[in-house]
Amino acid sequence: MLQFLCPCERPRLRSLLPCCVEEASRGLCGASRLQFPECETMGRSRKTTAYIFLKYILPISSVATILELAFLRILKFQNHNKVLQKFEVDQAMARWRRISYYEIQQATDRFNGDNLLGIGSFGKVYKGVLSDGTNVAIKVFNLGLEGAFRSFDLECEVLRNIRHRNLTKIISSCSNLDFKALVMSYMVNGSLEKWLHSEDHSLSMIERINIVIDIAEAINYLHHGGSISIVRCDLKASNILVDEDMAAHVTDFGIAKLLNGGNSMTHTLTLATMGYMAPEYGLEGLVSKQGDVYSYGILLMEIFTQKKPTDEMFMGDFSIKHWVDSLIDIVDARLLMEEGELASKKVYLSSIMKLALDCTKELPRERTNMKDVITTLKKIKMAFL
């Protein structure tokens, strides 16, 4: 058998072993577990890989993870808000005395036309008498109209958040998949529109002043009275009801908007009534508290001139705003026939018309606010008395 010996194992070369081993292992490299020095290319490769990972891959992965978590959080928040909103509407309805469809049918004499009080954007309002003899107004929503379900929920949400003497009060509600109605306090004197534009009704100067103060108080409360600002959006004479004491009550919140999170404005696709809505509302769908102030100014003009902003005489660029400049010609003649000094009444009417013009400035930021409106009107009332 032949044996092959390492050169260093040969007797003659054994003395050279240290040198042989050192010489043989010189320049070798490999994994650390083999007790060899690390190869330079391997070290550079690992360093390069780590550098790429730290500089590019890790930041991108981190950003993607953060975005995913943020998206999930937003989605969860939106779903929570929807659930919370429905819960709040259900809670609001739970606080009101529930009434059945049969009771409403009985109260309105099967929705008899003789009991019809008015027709709104999303339904009809009937006069009704409950089983205990209470006179009520029952707003029945036409669920066949687009937006009727949303309008019902919105009114419930708005009315849940408000408590004011010059706002409509809810007595009861009826809600199921096929029928929705709100039962409200009945206002024996009907709408303000009837008192302004009917030959059978008339308002004195002091009654008109009291009514516009009531309306201003209600709008100011909606804007500043709670944790959530509410924009009325469609303020007009037909949406103002008058009770037995001739106090005004703002009603119908079917297209109102809630300004959450400190927002001062929002957008809508639902248009208010022509003639009353602010320019930015009609052009851009922009809803804000200043838009309500504009509508209030138009309503002031209507109340003291007895002219609707939609009157056929107002065409093109000629509006009720341009018309109020000639004060003596436009004020309700019946006001000037009351007892008292004609000159003093002209002063009060002039002050009210000036206030109305301040409310209806073209630019929202130039309009007055409802707090200042109330202060001015109360001063006029004190001077008048």
DSSP 48-103: HHHHHIIIIIHHHHHHHHHHHHHHHHHHHHHHHHHHHHHHHHHHHHHHSEE--HHH
Report strand pairing: 135-141 vs 229-231. unpaired
Q: Is 139 annotated as a binding residue?
A: yes
Tell me if 233 sits within 8 A of 291, measured CB to CB: yes
Alpha carbon 92 to its chain centroid, in Å, reads 18
Q: Which of 234, 252, 292, 332 is catalytic?
A: 234
Spatial CA neighbour of 304 closest among 277, 276, 335, 274 = 335
Report strand pairing: 97-98 vs 170-175. parallel
* Matching residue, tokens 């030959």: 199
How many Cβ atoms are within 10 Å of 153's Cβ, its own excluded? 19
DSSP state of 6: -
Contacts 24+ apart (CB under 8 A), 169-173: 170/96, 171/96, 171/97, 171/134, 171/136, 172/96, 172/97, 172/98, 172/99, 172/136, 173/93, 173/96, 173/98, 173/99
Tell me if 127 sits within 8 A of 186, measured CB to CB: yes
- Locate 240 and state its tokens: 């103002």
- Residues linked to residue 250 through DSSP beta bridges, in sequence order: 167, 240
Distances (CA, A) of 72 to 58, 68, 81, 85: 21, 6, 14, 20
**Known catalytic residue at 329:** no
Q: Which residues are catalytic?
A: 234
The annotation places the binding site for ATP at 139
The annotation places the binding site at 139
